[in-house]
């Protein structure tokens, strides 16, 4: 049988990191075995509908390269792929389930029973619903008479239910622990669980991948499959992605979503790579993986059982690796938006080359290049550096020596500038640092810069560099 997995997000308007990881594992399970990855939108909960939310789902998956084989936009043999367009199907199966004895009509529903939390009146929790005793014929009559009803699951079994999970192994749960939940609400819409089961079966999903919070309700799902005479899917429950040991990642706590991270200058490829390793390991010491590589080596056996804490530090490091692995042109293209505010004519190619090994997230560019537009106000003491053996006096001398030399330079390349300045140092019996350090400060006004004196000179160009050295000399004179 062909492997078929599905990603079934609710259109909430953002892509949660934990959900994206679940999608990734679903995708990888399918693709590592030549199967299909299906996208289904679970918009049953009308209250949570957010305009444009499905687009975010589409864009995110596309951006990381997780292309789906069937879905709302491209169709497929098992559509429609949006739950709100499948209402009639759920109702039909709900009634069928009643006929098959897997559920019953219930008339004692309170109106607050169907709120988004799925809160149930306590009377139904563990106790038998009195409506179960109503003969089916009578129930049908009442429905025909227009009485509001819900379809409620029957849990008639006793003893323990055993099911197998790919990650957690065999799990036993007592049927007494299960409650007879609503499957079809009085407005005719299915509950989340019920729609899930019906769709997964009709769409021939082979592996259901979901958070381990669903472990304890899995027997309820299986009971529905059983009542219909269907074969349950293979379950792959994955541990949670945590913010810290106590709290899982959630948008509510202001934790980063995929788009937040991208906005902060993280590369989608790096995010994907990082989350793949949160709860899964390749069995080797390789850490950098493209999606294609993951498709080749993924296996569910190496999925972990315990929750993983999302560590922004490691993501940041990994993002730095991805940035450094970019070609010079690719990096330059990504950096362009950050250069927009600079009006002086700079050598952006040289700037990008200097920046690329120095940043770990794209938005670190801003703090690195703030001096390009204008030299900040700086203290003369900046020219004092013990290791470089410089003082404002030495700097004054150095800049006086350097200025006329630089004015004559025609080859404004890094190599040539470096040789020229070294020459100045040697012929005046100064150390390299005593020339280079003051020049760098004069050009930038900053203690640390992306690149040394000559690299900055190349970035700024000859005219601007000369101008800045002249300005610095005036400051040192005054």
Helices 432-444 and 414-427 meet at what angle, rounded to 10? 130
Measured from the CB atom, the residue of 188 and 357 that comes closer to RNA is: 357
**φ, ψ for residue 217, nearest 5 deg:** -100, 0
Residue 122 CB partners (closer than 8 Å, separation 6+): none
The C-alpha atoms of residue 370 and residue 448 are separated, in whole angstroms, by: 12
Instruction: Order across the sheet with 36-39: list the strands.
Output: 36-39, 4-7, 207-211, 234-238, 160-165, 169-174
What kind and span of H or E run contains 234? strand 234-238
Strands 169-174 and 160-165: antiparallel
C-beta of residue 238 within 8 angstroms of C-beta of residue 210: yes
Measured from the CB atom, the residue of 77 and 170 that comes closer to RNA is: 170
C-beta of residue 295 within 8 angstroms of C-beta of residue 70: no
The C-alpha atoms of residue 326 and residue 331 are separated, in whole angstroms, by: 6
Among 251, 422, 431, 467, the active-site one is 251
Strands 207-211 and 234-238: parallel
Measured from the CB atom, the residue of 33 and 212 that comes closer to RNA is: 212
Helices 53-64 and 268-276 meet at what angle, rounded to 10? 80
Q: For residue 107, give both structure tokens.
A: 């008339």
Measured from the CB atom, the residue of 422 and 467 that comes closer to RNA is: 422
C-beta of residue 303 within 8 angstroms of C-beta of residue 236: yes
Q: What is the nearest approach in angstroms of RNA to the Cβ of residue 310?
A: 8
Which of 1, 67, 68 shows the shortest CA–CA distance to 33? 1
Q: What is the nearest approach in angstroms of RNA to the Cβ of residue 370?
A: 14
Which of 469, 470, 449 shows the shortest CA–CA distance to 350? 449
Measured from the CB atom, the residue of 76 and 282 that comes closer to RNA is: 282
Strands 103-106 and 182-184: unpaired
The C-alpha atoms of residue 238 and residue 154 are separated, in whole angstroms, by: 28
Number of neighbouring beta carbons within 10 Å of residue 54: 20
Q: What is the nearest approach in angstroms of RNA to the Cβ of residue 313?
A: 4
Q: What is the nearest approach in angstroms of RNA to the Cβ of residue 143?
A: 25
Measured from the CB atom, the residue of 78 and 317 that comes closer to RNA is: 317
Give 170: exposed, middle or buried? Use CB within 10 Å, 0-12, 13-18, 19+: exposed
Measured from the CB atom, the residue of 338 and 418 that comes closer to RNA is: 418
Whether 251 is a known active-site residue: answer yes
- Give the CA angle between residues 327, 329, 332 to the nearest 5°: 110
Q: What is the nearest approach in angstroms of RNA to the Cβ of residue 77?
A: 33
Residues found near RNA in the complex (CB under 7 A): 118, 120, 122, 125-126, 168-169, 171-174, 177, 179, 212-213, 215-217, 240, 242, 245-246, 248, 277-281, 283, 285, 287, 302, 304-309, 311, 313-314, 316-317, 320-321, 324, 357-358, 387-388, 414, 418, 432-433, 436-437, 440, 447-455
Which of 58, 66, 48 shows the shortest CA–CA distance to 273? 66
Which of 410, 414, 412, 411 shows the shortest CA–CA distance to 353? 414
Tell me the three state secondary structure of residue 380: helix
Q: What is the nearest approach in angstroms of RNA to the Cβ of residue 253?
A: 12
What kind and span of H or E run contains 458? helix 453-460
Residue numbers annotated as active site: 251
């Amino acid at each position: 049988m062909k492997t078929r997995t599905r990603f079934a997000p609710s259109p909430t308007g953002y892509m949660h990191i934990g959900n994206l990881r679940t999608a990734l594992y679903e995708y990888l399970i399918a693709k590592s075995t030549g199967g299909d990855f299906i996208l289904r939108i679970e918009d049953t909960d009308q209250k949570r509908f957010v305009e444009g939310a499905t687009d975010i789902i589409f864009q995110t998956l596309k951006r990381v390269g997780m292309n789906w084989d069937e879905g709302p936009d491209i169709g497929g043999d098992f559509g429609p792929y949006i739950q709100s367009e499948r209402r009639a199907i759920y109702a039909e199966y709900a009634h069928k389930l009643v006929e098959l004895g897997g559920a019953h009509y219930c008339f004692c529903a309170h109106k607050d029973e169907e709120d988004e939390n799925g809160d149930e009146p306590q009377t139904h929790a563990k106790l038998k619903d009195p409506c179960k005793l109503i003969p089916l014929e009578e129930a049908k009559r009442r429905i025909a008479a227009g009485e509001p009803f819900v379809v409620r699951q029957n849990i008639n079994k006793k003893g323990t239910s055993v099911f197998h999970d790919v990650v957690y192994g065999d799990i036993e749960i007592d049927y007494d622990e299960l409650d007879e939940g609503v499957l079809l609400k009085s407005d005719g819409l299915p509950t989340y669980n019920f729609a899930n089961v019906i769709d997964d079966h009709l769409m021939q999903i082979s592996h259901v991948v979901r958070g381990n919070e669903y472990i304890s309700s899995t027997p309820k799902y299986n009971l529905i499959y059983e009542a219909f005479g269907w074969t349950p899917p293979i379950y792959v429950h994955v541990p949670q992605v945590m913010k810290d040991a106590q709290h899982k990642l959630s948008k509510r706590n202001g934790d980063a979503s995929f788009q937040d991270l991208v906005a902060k200058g993280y590369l989608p490829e790096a995010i994907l790579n990082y989350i793949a390793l949160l709860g899964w390991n390749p069995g080797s010491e390789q850490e950098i993986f493209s999606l294609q590589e993951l498709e080749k080596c993924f296996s569910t056996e190496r999925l972990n059982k315990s929750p993983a804490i999302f560590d922004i530090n490691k993501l940041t490091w990994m993002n730095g690796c991805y940035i450094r692995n970019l070609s010079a042109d690719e990096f330059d293209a990504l950096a362009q938006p950050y250069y927009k505010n600079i009006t002086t004519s700079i050598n952006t190619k040289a700037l990008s080359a200097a920046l690329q090994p120095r940043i770990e997230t794209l938005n670190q560019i801003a703090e690195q290049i703030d001096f390009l537009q204008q030299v900040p106000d700086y203290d003369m003491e900046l020219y004092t550096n013990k290791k470089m053996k410089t003082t404002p006096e030495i700097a004054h001398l150095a800049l006086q020596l350097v200025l006329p030399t630089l004015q004559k330079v025609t080859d404004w390349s890094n190599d040539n500038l470096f040789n020229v300045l070294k020459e100045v140092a040697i012929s005046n019996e100064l150390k390299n640092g005593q020339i280079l350090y003051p020049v760098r400060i004069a050009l930038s006004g900053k203690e640390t810069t992306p690149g040394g004196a000559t690299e900055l000179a190349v970035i700024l160009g000859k005219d601007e560099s000369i101008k800045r050295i002249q300005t610095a000399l005036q400051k040192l004179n005054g």
